[in-house]
Amino acid sequence: MSSHAAQAYARTSQATASPREIEAQALLKAARQLQEVQANWKGADKNLYNALLFNRRLWSIFMTAAEDNGNQNTLEVRQNIANIGLFVLKQTIEIQMDPDPKKLKSLIDINCNIAAGLSGRA
């Protein structure tokens, strides 16, 4: 995707959804990818790697934002985000070292529950 297209997409996304809703949608996308891998388990394949990579990158963004002193969330919320992020990263490494579809459940549940909270459905 070109830089101009990415910028246009970002402007459109910002105009049509709140940041919380964008975060919720990203978490749900990651959860769907992980669920797809779990439902069609073929072991440590490209689909598993790509789903874990997307989820890890997403949580890295959340953790970086939580560390930012300009973040509007309370320190407690920021610490909780960081702690959940660390768990997600640790679980990702565990899955990569010892692939098992059952281990994806915790990542899927975390993403779905936080997305529900961000969307006001929790």
Mean pLDDT by groups of 10 residues along the chain of 122 residues: 61 72 97 98 96 98 94 94 97 97 98 94 64
Q: Per the domain annotation, does 45 fall within a domain? A: yes
Sign, Cα dihedral of 93, 34, 14, 114:
negative
* Half-sphere exposure of residue 105: CA atoms within 13 angstroms, side-chain side: 4
Q: Per the domain annotation, does 2 fall within a domain? A: no
Task: Say what angle helices 75-97 and 46-67 make with each other, to 10 degrees.
Answer: 160
pTM for this entry: 0.83
Q: Per the domain annotation, does 14 fall within a domain? A: no
Q: How high is the pLDDT of residue 48?
A: 98
Q: How high is the pLDDT of residue 45?
A: 97
What are the tokens at 36? 């797809």
113 contacts 87 by C-beta, under 8 angstroms: no
Q: Per the domain annotation, does 111 fall within a domain? A: yes
Q: What total of structural domains would you count in the chain?
A: 1
Q: Per the domain annotation, does 55 fall within a domain? A: yes
Q: How high is the pLDDT of residue 7?
A: 67
Q: Which domain holds residue 47?
A: 19-118
Q: How high is the pLDDT of residue 16?
A: 76
Q: Per the domain annotation, does 97 fall within a domain? A: yes
Q: Per the domain annotation, does 103 fall within a domain? A: yes
> What is the domain-level CATH number for residue 47?
1.20.120
> Quick one: CA torsion of 53, 119, 19, 37, rounded to 10 degrees?
10
